[in-house]
Amino acid sequence: MNLSIETIEHESYYEIKVAGELDVYTAPELLAVLQPLHQLGTHDIHMNITDVSYMDSTGLGLFVGTLKELNKHNHELYVLGANSRIERLFEITGLKELMHVNAETEV
């Protein structure tokens, strides 16, 4: 399955809307979008994954790498719209404690 990625720049954050399956085959597409944004270090990133139907460990690793880069610049990663299966992946790996998963944003 293909991955659809839409980027919207807001005043203080980038909104990234992702749809499809996020796995070892499609993660490089999302990484190509995210790398320039988190390397700038100027905005938080709000990742809307409402339409992501499947995610594997490669997808989780991509979120960890993005979080590390954002933390270097004192910015935050928000993962929004995770379905119960994907949210559970964040919970059992302990990542839900490190990033804002399905949390309310203050923007």
* pLDDT tens figures, 35-82: 998 878 789 999 999 999 999 999 999 999 999 999 999 999 999 999
Largest CA-CA distance found in the chain, in angstroms, rounded: 34
| Domain locations along the chain | 3-8+17-101
Work out the mean pLDDT of the chain and round it to a whole number: 91
The topology (CATH level 3) of 3-8+17-101 is Transcription Regulator spoIIAA (3.30.750)
Count, residues in the chain: 107
Helix, strand, coil abundance in the chain, percent, nearest 5: 40, 35, 30
Assign residue 51 a region: left if phi > 0, alpha if psi is -120 to 50, beta otherwise?
alpha
pLDDT of residue 104: 64
For the cut 90, the answer to whether the pLDDT of residue 103 exceeds it is no
